């Protein structure tokens, strides 16, 4: 294996060597489960899925840990405001764990649609309260935290004097200080840069656990430090996540780990860049917030049409994971066409018959170029460009202007299968026989509904729509007729 990865910590590409081969430890920050999975969730999931597939393909046993944040992530991402999950629960009059469960199931469904492989371990923050308390105690004992009115805060300045804070994000502590609001004297923190390891639960706060410091809950950054150590050991290979987590989340993770154990635990830090929408950051307040269900169904004001999960996957793979990626209908439509061309070429390749004994060198060169691209910090856009170059060879062979011998053909088929399906995780959309049958059954029902409407039999027409919805099929009327998609059968 000649894999080189860009390490955010050293700011350069480094050759990747696992610490304890054949085992590779991979930790990726997972979702906070208080809302539907959206476009922003798809990118880290797909990026690290490709890395997971690559390492497995190279013969390693990968322990891939991706957490579920179900407690402690507060609304303002720092130490103030309500817990995100508790707030969603209050709005819907549900238990916080009902919210977490509901959105975890939805997240898993979307991840499966995107054909990402499930992680080896998916630990919950709420299932590791004891471990988090133990870590707080270690940090306290080492003098890098202090208790204040039932909460425990990390002492950033003291840590900085000993170990240097900001090594991952490159942020300078003096600048951070001038950009942070000053304390108003009422706060529990000694310094505005300090962050919560444990927060005292206010009256009415639902998710609370007893602790040596009174009833409370863990700070958001703590869970990843604890759970990565628990499942991957004191030092492990790769920690990944979106670049939005670089600061403060990952910076705090590093500080917590060193403050508790005296050494850094992560060898390679990897960060995927963000997805923007028509050039803008995605945000609920901007009306450009698109969930994956909406993307797959086309039900959003910004969407011209539905986009299949594989189109979305292909779209994400067309950009390097460290580059920003701008979503637009045009870009998605182009991705859909590109994917179709690639899959059609593979179909053609499957049908080719060998001719002569030539082509082996050319196929070997192509295979080497593909390998070099993915080895170069998972450069999927360059890899795809080589695969498209290869389709010219396939089409020439199909047209009879080039001859490919049996050996070359076998190698070429293996290359496309291993790269497109196994490594990039693309798959043919499920237009199998059963789904074609389902299409025609829905057509029959929709024709019945149309007749009912013409007869002004609204009861029957509504009933057909409602019963389909109960069965998990959502109908959307369009100007040319109707569309359907699988939805929540709530």
Minimum distance between the CB of residue 314 and Zn ion, rounded to whole angstroms? 28
Minimum distance between the CB of residue 222 and Zn ion, rounded to whole angstroms? 10
Q: What residues are paired with 143 via a beta bridge?
A: none
Minimum distance between the CB of residue 405 and Zn ion, rounded to whole angstroms? 51
Residue 169: count of CB within 10 angstroms of its CB: 16
- Toward Zn ion, which CB reaches closer, 29 or 384? 29
Long-range contacts (CB closer than 8 Å, 24 or more residues apart) made by 394-399: 394/345, 394/348, 394/349, 394/352, 395/345, 395/348, 397/352, 397/355, 397/359, 398/348, 398/351, 398/352
Retrieve residue 40's tokens.
């922003």
Closest CA to 267 of 230, 241, 240, 231: 240
Report the DSSP pairing between strands 145-148 and 151-154.
antiparallel
- Toward Zn ion, which CB reaches closer, 29 or 259? 29
Closest CA to 36 of 90, 109, 125: 109
- Toward Zn ion, which CB reaches closer, 70 or 188? 70
Minimum distance between the CB of residue 155 and Zn ion, rounded to whole angstroms? 21
CA 14 to CA 239: how far, in whole Å?
A: 15
CA 52 to CA 43: how far, in whole Å?
A: 14
Minimum distance between the CB of residue 211 and Zn ion, rounded to whole angstroms? 21
CA 40 to CA 274: how far, in whole Å?
A: 7
Q: What residues are paired with 484 via a beta bridge?
A: 475
Phi, psi of 121 (to 5 degrees): -140, 135
- Toward Zn ion, which CB reaches closer, 171 or 413? 171
Report the DSSP pairing between strands 12-15 and 195-200.
unpaired
Minimum distance between the CB of residue 163 and Zn ion, rounded to whole angstroms? 20
Q: Specify the 3-state DSSP secondary structure of 293.
A: helix
Minimum distance between the CB of residue 189 and Zn ion, rounded to whole angstroms? 22
- Toward Zn ion, which CB reaches closer, 5 or 245? 245
Q: Which residue has the tokens 């209050």?
A: 90
141 Cβ contact partners less than 8 Å away, ≥ 6 residues apart: none
- Toward Zn ion, which CB reaches closer, 36 or 251? 251
What residue ranges bind Zn ion (CB under 5 A)? 29, 224
- Toward Zn ion, which CB reaches closer, 28 or 277? 28
CA 104 to CA 110: how far, in whole Å?
A: 10
- Toward Zn ion, which CB reaches closer, 249 or 465? 249
Task: Report the C-alpha dihedral over residues 156, 190, 247, 138, rounded to 10 degrees.
Answer: 50
- Toward Zn ion, which CB reaches closer, 96 or 241? 241
């Amino acid at each position: 294996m000649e894999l080189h990865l860009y390490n955010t910590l050293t700011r350069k590409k480094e050759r990747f060597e696992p610490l304890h081969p054949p085992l590779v430890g991979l930790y990726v920050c997972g979702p906070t489960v208080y809302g539907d999975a959206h476009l922003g969730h798809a990118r880290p999931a797909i990026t690290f899925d490709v890395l997971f597939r690559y390492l497995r393909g190279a013969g390693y046993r990968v322990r891939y840990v991706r957490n579920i944040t179900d407690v402690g992530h507060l609304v303002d991402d720092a130490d103030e405001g309500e817990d995100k999950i508790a707030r969603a629960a209050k709005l819907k009059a549900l238990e916080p764990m009902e919210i977490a469960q509901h959105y975890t199931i939805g997240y898993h469904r979307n991840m499966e649609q995107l054909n990402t492989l499930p992680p080896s371990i998916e630990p919950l923050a709420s299932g590791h309260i004891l471990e988090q308390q133990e870590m707080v105690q270690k940090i306290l004992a080492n003098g890098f935290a202090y208790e204040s009115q039932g909460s425990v805060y990390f002492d950033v300045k003291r840590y900085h004097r000993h170990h240097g804070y900001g090594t991952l994000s490159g942020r300078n502590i003096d600048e951070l200080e001038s950009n942070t609001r000053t304390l108003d004297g009422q706060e529990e923190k000694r310094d505005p840069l300090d962050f919560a390891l444990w927060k005292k639960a206010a009256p009415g706060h639902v998710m609370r656990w007893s602790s040596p410091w009174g009833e409370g809950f863990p700070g958001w950054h703590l869970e990843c430090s604890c759970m990565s150590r628990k499942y991957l050991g004191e030092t492990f290979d790769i920690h990944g996540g979106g670049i939005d987590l670089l600061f403060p989340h990952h910076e705090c993770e590093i500080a917590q780990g060193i403050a508790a154990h005296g050494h850094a635990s992560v060898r390679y830090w990897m960060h995927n860049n963000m997805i923007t929408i028509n050039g803008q950051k995605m945000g609920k307040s901007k009306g450009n917030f698109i969930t994956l269900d909406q993307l797959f169904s086309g039900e959003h004001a910004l969407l011209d049409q539905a986009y299949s999960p594989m189109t979305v996957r292909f779209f994400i793979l067309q950009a390097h994971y460290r580059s920003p990626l701008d979503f637009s209908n045009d870009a998605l439509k182009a991705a859909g066409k590109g994917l179709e061309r690639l899959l059609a070429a593979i179909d053609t390749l499957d049908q080719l018959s060998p001719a002569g004994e030539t082509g082996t060198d050319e196929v070997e060169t192509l295979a080497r170029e593909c390998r070099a691209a993915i080895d170069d910090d998972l450069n999927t856009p360059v890899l795809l460009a080589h695969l498209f170059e290869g389709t010219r060879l396939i089409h020439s062979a199909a047209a009879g202007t080039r001859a490919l011998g049996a050996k070359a053909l076998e190698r070429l088929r293996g290359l496309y299968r291993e790269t497109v399906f196994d490594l990039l995780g693309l798959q043919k959309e499920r237009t199998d026989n059963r789904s074609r049958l389902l299409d025609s059954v829905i057509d029959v029902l929709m024709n019945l509904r149309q007749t009912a409407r013409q007869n002004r039999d609204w009861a029957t027409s509504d009933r057909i729509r409602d019963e389909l919805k109960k069965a998990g099929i959502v109908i959307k009327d369009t100007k040319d007729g109707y569309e359907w998609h699988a939805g929540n059968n709530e």
